[in-house]
Amino acid sequence: MADSDLKFGGLNGSCAHLCIDMQRMFSEPTPWQVDWLPRILPQCCRITALHPERTFFTRFITAKEAGMGHGAWKRYYQHWESMTIAKIGVEMLDLVPDLRPFVPPAQVIDKHTYSPWMETDLHRRLQQGRINTLVITGGETEVCVLATVIGAIDLGYRVIVVKDALCSSADETHDKMVDVYCDRFQMQIEAVDTEVVLKSWKIW
């Protein structure tokens, strides 16, 4: 694929990589295991390795124990008590081993909701770095990635969704969500494969 696959032009120093929730609790045997997360890990690593100082890893931090959380999140963790820190251990919140060596210079953003925009300083950090374009990888396509994408659109970022670097525990909704990214957000989202990003992202 060529740079022309990015219809709004190549990627440069105003671009950053957001790698969403590539954590042990999603890659190892837990109720939230995403079976094909390992299939996208090489792509996430390749994009991170290109400009690790421009990568932000998000981590979804679960409640400490059942009954904690605000509003509907309290009900959520009553249902998913098995995924609270008290049950799985704090080490399961870590990034998968293949990504940990990139930190630093890559940065980690912890969040307690699907979106990384509501309770963190991610937007401020990006603005300080004069970032206006985001390459998004990770999981899950129709949950935390979706929340990240919609928030980025609302904040005015150009969004590059890397199709072969997204994963989900539900194939059908993953496929439908990628179609939505491609069809319904054509002026805000460009959906491409890893090779396009690697060839197009030049900061010099």
Q: What is the pLDDT of residues 44-61, one digit of tens each?
A: 999 999 999 999 999 999
- Residues in contact with 166: Cβ distance below 8 Å, sequence separation at least 6, in sequence order: 40, 137, 138, 139, 141, 145, 174, 178
Q: How far apart are CA 114 and CA 99, in angstroms?
A: 20
User: What burial letters (b/e) apply to 168-183, b meaning 16+ CB within 10 Å?
Assistant: bbeeeebeebbebbee
Q: Give the DSSP letter of residue 116.
A: S
pTM listed for this prediction: 0.94
Query: 3-62+95-200: what fold?
Result: Rossmann fold (3.40.50)
Mean pLDDT throughout 99-107? 98
Whether the link from the prior residue into 104 is cis, omega within 30° of 0, is yes
Calculate the CA 60 to chain-centre distance.
Answer: 10
What tokens appear for 61 in the block?
């931090």
Is 160 within 8 Å of 47 (Cβ atoms)? Answer: no
Task: Give the residue extent of every domain in the chain.
Answer: 3-62+95-200
Residue 124 gets the label, from left (phi > 0), alpha (psi -120 to 50) or beta, of alpha
Structure confidence at residue 175 (pLDDT): 87
| 33 φψ region: left (φ > 0), alpha (ψ -120 to 50), beta (else) | beta
Instruction: Please write the tens of the pLDDT for every residue from 158-203.
Output: 999 999 999 999 888 988 988 889 889 989 999 999 999 999 998 7
Least confident segment among 13-17, 23-27, 43-47, 184-188: 184-188
CB 44 within 8 A of CB 165: yes
The yes-or-no verdict on residue 20 having pLDDT over 50 is: yes
Neighbours of 105 (CB within 10 A): 10
The predicted structure's pLDDT at residue 3: 40
Separation CA 171–CA 48 (nearest Å): 25
What pLDDT score was predicted for residue 40?
Answer: 97
